[in-house]
Amino acid sequence: MPINKEELLAEFLKSFKIAVNGALLYTKSHPFFMRYIEDLKRKIDPLFDFLNPLKVVITPNSLVIDDKTFSKTSWYDELVKILHRRKIKSIEFKRGITGQELVVLLDRISLPPLEILKQGGVDRIFSRNDNTHFTIEELDYSSLLIDKEGEGFNEAWFSLVESSINHNETRKINEFADNFQIIVAKIKINDLVTDERLRKSMSDFMNYLKVNQKEKFNKCCQELLESALKYRGELDEAQLLSLQSFFIGLDEKDLANVLWNKLSLDDDFGPVGLRLFSQLAGKDKHKTIVSTVFDKARDISPASGASRIKEKIEKLFSASDNIHIPEIYQNMLSALRENSSLEDKIAFDRDQVDRNYRFILLNLIIEEKDDGALSMLLEKVMEDWDTIIANRDFEYLKNLIEVSRRKTSENPDCRRIFKKIDDRIGSFLEAAVFEQPFNQSIKPLIESIEKSSAGYDFYLEKIFNDKKVNQQALSLFFRLFPGDLERFRNKLEQNRADIDLLVNMIEDLKHVDSLVSLDVLKYLFYSCNEYIKIEALRAMQECSNFDKEFLFSIITRENNALKKEALQVIMRDQEMLKEALQMLFDIPNSFGRSNGVIIERISLVEEIELKEASAFLAGFSRKMFFWNRALRLKAREVLRKWNAE
Amino acid sequence: MPNNIENALRDLISLLQVIKLYTAMHPRFNKFLDKAYESLRGVLINRQEVIIGIVGDEFVFEKEIFFEFSKTAKSTISYLKARGVEKIIFSGALQKEELAKFVGFLAGDSDKEEVKKNPQEALYLSGVRNITLGKLNSAGAVDSLSVAANKSISYLSLYESSLDQVTDSLDGVLGEQDLNYLPLRFAINNIAENMAVKYNEILKLITLKRYDTGTFIHLLNVSILSMYFSTKLGFSKEDVLDIGTAALFHDIGKIYISRKIIKKTDKLTEDEFKNMRSHSLLGARLLLKHTETLGVLPLIVAFEHHMRQDAKSYPKLSFSCIPHIASIIVSICDVYDALAQRRSYKADYPPNVIYDLINKEKERFFQPQMVSKFFSIMGVWPVGSVVTLNGGRVAIVREQNENDIFLPKVEIMYPPSRKGHMDLHQSQGEDRIESFVNPLRQGKGYLSMV
């Protein structure tokens, strides 16, 4: 019979271990399990005389009770592993613990570790208030990260992250972020690109950080990238794209940091890793990354490991024969190796190969007289069409248009040979004209379009269904379909209620500035509401063309708001203005019957500072008789105001 | 049966070429592996083993000698022999993984000590149990050649087998036939790999071969020079091989036009000259049909290699572009090699004159920076040149001197009392090259020493 604390503790732990095993093997109603529980109760109760509460702390390798460490025997080792795997940091038993409570405790901690994680950890499992005589403390999540067991890691990660984000558990998420480097070292990149769930949870985690913790987001992204670069296999394009999406938030400086870290600190970083880096970093960032890394490497002093870097670069450079690394990175390595500058580096430019090939095709086409060979050459150009468009090589398109013109003017029979490519160019340009923002480089090409390949309906679709409109598109549309605006007007009519569309269109019509655009503005004025009318008139104020009859009808019949805008159009032509002012102010006014109207009109000219009306105002300011007093005063007031300025 | 064996050999060789060019990770490798394995299995049905031998330059199997096939596989035969492989035994229990390991082994580094010493053991240790390598039984044969001579013969054999491959490929293009690109690329790859280790040996061969007026020798020389130049510029292996391949075809238009015109000894007529000038355009047209196999670089180089720095080039361009670096490299190497060759319309120039001629025109014809770079790598006196030094000595240039393109490292051959190696740069002006000795004329006696 044990009489001292140590012996009691030893007995207790053995019994606890047996009970845990029993919980793992049997159901909670099984007689064997019940027997183990009874024994455990018998062993724990006397201990409370020495330790109450009795706290069992679980470390990765041992149990600690009352500052005494229990380890290095099979009794304790297995128990430690079982509890530690379930992320239990400590269990505190209090005097009075019942058998039933022990059953609950053991039943729940015997759940598989993944199940515990899925349910949100032991904290959540024991959160229900049915255990008053024991307390479970959950292991700090950062311990998950140093757990050497890798099995089921992805599942654990997924469960933890999902739970933490859903419950907005900032503390846990911060812990993950702070220890992310260790976490990510356990995630296989292959799994990240093939396991949808893992990819989603990683993406959710990163997005959470991006919104809430930008600095941590950057850090974790970089660490993820550094880890990814250890991958030695081949990734197909879809996998690369999915992996690349994680790093879109990293700028050139961050990426350069990662590359520099790999070059300077990772002995295993080789050409495969460098190639993967170049694929993930994004083509448009290469130049700045290379320049930054190059500067870092050049600035490093011998004391800081310059020779080590040099060795590394030599190794990378000589090992890169069978691995395709973009030229820009090869040049960087080569320049570092030879201690020359990046600018001195003679490079093999693969992009230039494609460009020169296309230009040679143009030259061959110009020289070619045989129809069959000409068709073949044009086919070759068409094979490269996607690259031309992807590279936005508008200079090349311009040359292609010129080639087509020259050949068809030399030999009109060639037109049928060039039709396919002409149509392709035309369709592309007609679609490109609607791109937002409009690419100015294609402006000269647009002007070369003589006939629509896309068709009238294409334009209506774009403008009224896709709501894409700009001055170049409108200008092109009016040019290609002159005098054919009936359906266009019908569409305007149908979209009268779409204020945004009409306002945008009016803005563009202003810049188109042609008779046709004026026509459309007038149509909008007549068919739409007050707001659009005003917008249309305002647009006309900046057009070089105007319709006198239309404007005069406004100033005589419409309300003041519209009159004001119309007057501002008329103001641009002095002759027309004179006539307009005459029309406004030189009206029959016996006994001041029209004074009200005139005063309104004076307010109008006052508002727009139409000083050309001064002569009329001067006349009004001298009007006699009491019925003209208000008119006199108003005129004088405005004149005074204008004279003072 | 002979057809089956030949097909199996063919598939095996293709597999070896693929692994050399693309690595075992490449999807193409598995495709070729399956095919080669199926072929071999077809042969091994009802047989305990199949023994393939290489006798001389021919593949043999039992009583069969594959004469025609061996001609097309010359570069592979050289390759295998260079690795000490004269006999391959496939056992009936051959597994596909073993075949993959076997070609991987053949494609690997043959200079490793354990491989050189005992390739069979090295193969066995890599897990291949059902393929055995070995040498032929050569009872009574005495090898009287030195190791160095053996190596030279192997480089010569490499050069000549590559020349055969180049000839086949170019004839194919000129004859508007389909081009089997893999063996050509393999041949170029072999040269590039050997050049990485023993560039001086290869360069020496070029120097000598320049005096051979064989049709495609100039093309192969330009290809080798271009690859050497590109390697020294730091280009990747893939880029080097692409440039080497492109260089082979740079004058295809010229060859096509008329051999009769080329061999004319008096001046060309206006029409004939016009035809010659258009050879760049014609070459590009010819190569257009082969862009899928050869890529577009040969076409670009064929078109651009005569484009001049001062823009007064032919062909006259309606749409201009900056010549690609590959074209510039080939252009310089082309002129360099051509100036050294005897042609129907001109004599061959000594190296120092070539240097002066090219340098004089570098602003007009080439990118000056590239010309300077070229000579800093090649030196004025190419490896293998026979030269006279001051004091009546005769020497052979063995290696370039990075520090001075005019003062290479030489081996003095005459007088016998002064024989030995010397670095002319280190003698600080006391020793210098005085003249070039033409190996076809006054230098004939020294050819064997080169």
> Which of the two residues, A24 and A442, has the higher pLDDT score?
A442
Domain boundaries, chain A: 5-139, 153-338, 349-448, 455-545, 576-645
Q: Which residue has the higher pLDDT, A480 or B428?
A: A480
pLDDT tens column, B264-298: 666 667 766 665 667 888 888 889 988 888 889 99
Pairing of strands B409-414, A68-70: unpaired
Quick check: B94 pLDDT over 70? yes
A54: amino acid identity, one letter: L
Kindly give, in sequence order, each residue whose CB lies less than 8 Å from that of residue B181, ignoring residues fewer than 6 positions away: B169, B293, B294
* Same domain, residue pair B91 and B230: no
Torsion, Cα of A449, A451, A456, A457 (10° steps) = -80
B303 touches chain A (CB under 8 A): yes
Those residues of chain A whose CB sits closer than 8 Å to some CB in chain B are: 234, 317, 320-322, 324-325, 327, 330-331, 334, 337-338, 345-349, 352-357, 359-360, 362-364, 366-367, 373, 376-377, 380, 399, 403
More confident position, B178 or A555: A555
Between positions 223 and 252 of B, the ones with CB within 8 A of A are 230, 233-239, 243
Length of chain A: 645
Residue B318: the pLDDT is 77
- Rounded distance between C-alpha atoms, residue A205 and residue A169, angstroms: 12
- Which of B205, B269, B199, B206 has its CA nearest to residue B240? B199
Asked if B23 has any chain A CB less than 8 Å from its own CB, the reply is yes
Assess whether B67 and B167 both reside in one domain. no
Distance CA A476, CA A341 (A): 49
Q: Which of B373, B398, B419 is the last residue of a domain?
A: B373
Looking at the fold, whether B339 and B420 belong to one and the same domain comes out as no
Q: Does B287 touch chain A (CB under 8 A)?
A: no
The CA distance from A179 to A184, in Å, is: 9
DSSP code, position B346: B
Whether chain A has a CB inside 8 Å of the CB on B197: the answer is no
B291–chain A Cβ distance below 8 A for any pair: yes
Do B229 and B160 have their domain in common? Answer: yes
Out of B237, B369, B370, closest to residue A321 by CB = B237
- In this structure, the answer to whether residues B366 and B390 fall within a common structural domain is no
Domain assignment present for B101: yes
CATH of the domain at B337: 1.10.3210.10
Identify all chain A residues contacting B305, using CB atoms and an 8 Å cutoff. Answer: none
CA atoms within 13 A on the CB side of A429: 29
Beta bridge partners of B410: B397, B422
Residue A379: per-residue pLDDT? 92
Cα separation values, B300 from A356, A364, B267, B310, Å: 7, 12, 29, 19
Nearest CA in chain A to B370: A346
Alpha-carbon distance of A463 to A341, in angstroms, equals 52
Q: A631, A622, A626: which is closest to A600 by C-alpha?
A: A631
Do B239 and A348 make contact, defined as CB atoms within 8 angstroms? yes
Scored b (16 or more CB within 10 A) or e, A261-274 reads: bbbbeeeebbbbbb
> How far apart, in whole angstroms, are the C-alpha atoms of residue A89 and residue A25?
23
Instruction: Give Cβ neighbours of residue B227 (< 8 Å, ≥ 6 apart).
Output: B188, B191, B192, B195, B240, B241, B243, B244, B247
Domain enclosing residue B64, as ranges: 2-134
- Do B434 and B357 share a domain, yes or no? no
Contact residues on chain B for A367, CB-CB shorter than 8 A:
281, 315
Is-contact B385 B207, C-beta < 8 A? yes
Here the tokens at position A245 are 């999406």
Q: Are residues B353 and B415 in the same domain?
A: no
In the prediction, which pLDDT does B145 show?
A: 34
Residue B285 counted as domain residue: yes
From A348's Cα to the closest Cα of chain B, the distance in A is: 6
Nearest to A330 among B236, B325, B370 (CB): B236
A249 — phi, psi (to 5°)?
-75, -10
Residue B251 has pLDDT above 60, yes or no: yes
Facing residues of B394 across strands? B388, B414
Least confident segment among A90-104, A486-500, B119-133, B303-317? B303-317
Lowest model confidence (mean pLDDT) among A570-574, B39-43, B77-81, B324-328 = B77-81
Which structure tokens are listed for B344? 């129907």
B373 and chain A in contact, CB less than 8 A: yes
Taking the C-alpha atoms of residue A572 and residue A160, their distance in angstroms, rounded to an integer, is 71
SS3 of B174-238: HCCCCCCHHHHHHHHHHHHHHHHHHHHHHHHHHHHHCCCCCCCHHHHHHHHHHHHHHHHHCCCHH
C-alpha angle with apex B357: B353 to B360, nearest 5 degrees? 135
In terms of domains, do B121 and B189 share one?
no
Q: Do B343 and B411 belong together in one domain?
A: no
Task: Give me the phi and psi of A606, to 5 degrees please.
Answer: -65, -45
The more confidently predicted of residues A602 and B65 is A602
Whether residue B397 lies within 8 A of chain A, CB to CB, comes out as no
Nearest to B318 among A346, A363, A373 (CB): A363
Residues of B in contact with A330 (CB under 8 A): 234-236
- Per-residue model confidence (pLDDT) at position B142: 30
- The minimum CA-CA distance between B296 and chain A, rounded to whole Å, is 7
Contacts of B318 in chain A (CB under 8 A): 362-363, 366
Pairing of β A63-65 and β A68-70: antiparallel
Record the tokens describing residue A321, joined without a space: 């024969």
Alpha-carbon distance A72 to A60, whole Å? 12
| B380 within a domain of the structure (yes/no) | no
Hey, of B197, B249, B321, which one would you mutate to test binding to chain A, going by the most A CBs within 10 A of its CB?
Answer: B321
User: Min CA distance, A181 vs chain B (Å)?
Assistant: 30
Q: Looking at the 3D structure of chain B, how many domains does it have?
A: 3
* B300 contacts chain A (CB < 8 A): yes
Which three-class secondary structure state does DSSP give residue A645?
coil
pLDDT-above-70 percentage for chain A: 89
Nearest to B319 among A234, A359, A373 (CB): A359
Q: Is the dihedral of CA B414, B415, B420, B422 positive or negative?
A: negative
* Candidates A324, A334, A359; nearest CB to B238: A324
Tokens encoding B354: 């070539």
Q: Kindly list the distances between the CA atom of residue B194 and the CA atoms of A618, B207, B228, B268, in Å, as whole numbers in the listed order.
A: 103, 17, 11, 41
**Is ipTM strictly over 0.85?**
no
| Judgement on whether residues B112 and B67 belong to the same structural domain of the protein | yes
Q: How many CB pairs under 8 A join A and B?
A: 87
| Mean pLDDT on B37-52 | 85
Greatest mean pLDDT range, A128-132, A213-217, A546-550, B104-108: A546-550
A353 contacts on B by Cβ (under 8 Å): 296-297, 300, 324, 326
Q: What whole-number distance in Å separates Cα of residue A257 and Cα of residue A569? A: 59
B174 closest CA partner among B243, B255, B242: B255
The two three-digit tokens of residue A108, written as one number: 């729940």
Nearest to A322 among B237, B320, B369 (CB): B237
Per-residue b/e over A499-509, b at no fewer than 16 CB within 10 Å? Answer: eebbebbbbbb
pLDDT confidence bin for B146, thresholds 50/70/90: very low
Residues of B in contact with A349 (CB under 8 A): 324-325
Q: Closest partner residue to A334 among B234, B321, B324, by Cβ?
A: B234
DSSP assignment of A381-425, as one string? HHHTHHHHHHTT-HHHHHHHHHHHHHHHHH-GGGHHHHHHHHHHH
Which one-letter DSSP state was computed for residue B343?
Answer: B
Q: Average pLDDT of chain B?
A: 78
The span from the first CA to the last CA of chain B, in angstroms, equals: 46
- In 3D space, the residue among A590, A504, A505, A509 whose CA is nearest the CA of residue A545 turns out to be A509
Under an 8 A CB cutoff, do B296 and A353 touch?
yes
Based on the domain organization, do B415 and B312 belong to the same domain? no
Residues of chain A neighbouring B235 (CB-CB closer than 8 A): 330, 348
Pairwise pLDDT comparison (A265 vs B445), residue with the higher score: A265
Residues B289 and B399 both lie in one domain:
no
| Span A312-354, pLDDT tens digits | 776 676 655 555 667 677 777 767 766 655 556 688 888 889 9
SS (H, E, C) B393-440: CEEEEEECCCCCCCCCEEEEEECHHHCEEEEHHHHCCCCCEEEEECCC
